[in-house]
């Protein structure tokens, strides 16, 4: 896996496919990642939240879905996450459409923080409900903690997760 900006030169077709999710929020691509001196699309995005919890939250909010696609679990120690290449981003009070970054939303990476951030936040559930009520697709990880890694990762280092 490579950050979106790395795909632009090496795999332009993949880049075009994945950049589409930012069509209605291009400002998000200009969001700075404090602590890593780069942009939102220069890092890989990981979550400490199991995708099964996301799927359960969507279903509780009224979305009839059977899958969220393919997911992989990684051991962060094997990937070499540390304070020089990884930060934790969490903006629990972010308003939809506000893609500006705030230094306060970024914290230095600490592996011990990940377990404390492994539940789907109630504000994310509220966001799901609002979007689904409006018959709009919710962003799966809006108002959730993100683990942002400045580097690349081989899928061979991960274990595929089956969620139902």
Can you give the pLDDT at residue 159?
87
Can you give the pLDDT at residue 164?
55
Can you give the pLDDT at residue 15?
94
Residues 6+ apart with CB under 8 A from 31: 39, 40, 99, 100, 101
Which regions of 7-157 does DSSP assign to beta strands (E)?
32-33, 38-39, 44-46, 71-74, 86-89, 106-108, 146-149
Give me the count of residues in the chain: 164
Work out the number of other CB atoms within 10 angstroms of the CB of residue 20. 9
The domain total for the chain is: 1
82 — alpha (psi -120 to 50), left (phi > 0) or beta?
Answer: beta
CA-to-CA dists, residue 112 to 35, 38, 63, 82, angstroms = 18, 24, 33, 12
Per residue of the chain (164 residues), what is the pLDDT tens digit? 999 999 998 999 999 999 998 888 888 888 999 999 999 999 999 999 999 999 999 999 999 887 788 899 999 989 999 999 999 999 988 888 888 888 999 999 999 999 899 999 999 999 999 999 999 989 999 999 999 999 999 988 888 887 75
Which residue range(s) make up the domain with 55? 4-161
């Amino acid at each position: 896996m490579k950050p979106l900006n790395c795909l632009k030169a090496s795999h332009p077709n993949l880049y075009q496919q994945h950049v589409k999710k930012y069509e209605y929020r291009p400002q998000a691509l200009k969001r700075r990642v404090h602590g890593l001196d780069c942009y939102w699309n220069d890092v890989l995005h990981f979550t400490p939240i199991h995708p099964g919890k996301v799927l359960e939250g969507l279903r509780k909010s009224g979305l009839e879905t059977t899958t969220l696609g393919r997911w992989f679990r990684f051991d962060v120690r094997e990937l070499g996450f540390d304070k020089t290449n990884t930060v934790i981003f969490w903006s629990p009070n972010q308003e939809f459409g506000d893609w500006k970054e705030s230094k306060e939303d970024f914290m230095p990476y600490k592996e011990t923080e990940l377990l404390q951030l492994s539940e789907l936040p109630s504000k994310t559930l509220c966001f799901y409900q609002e979007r689904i009520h409006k018959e709009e697709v919710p962003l799966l990880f809006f108002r959730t903690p993100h683990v942002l890694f400045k580097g690349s990762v081989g899928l061979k280092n991960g274990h595929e997760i089956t969620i139902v």
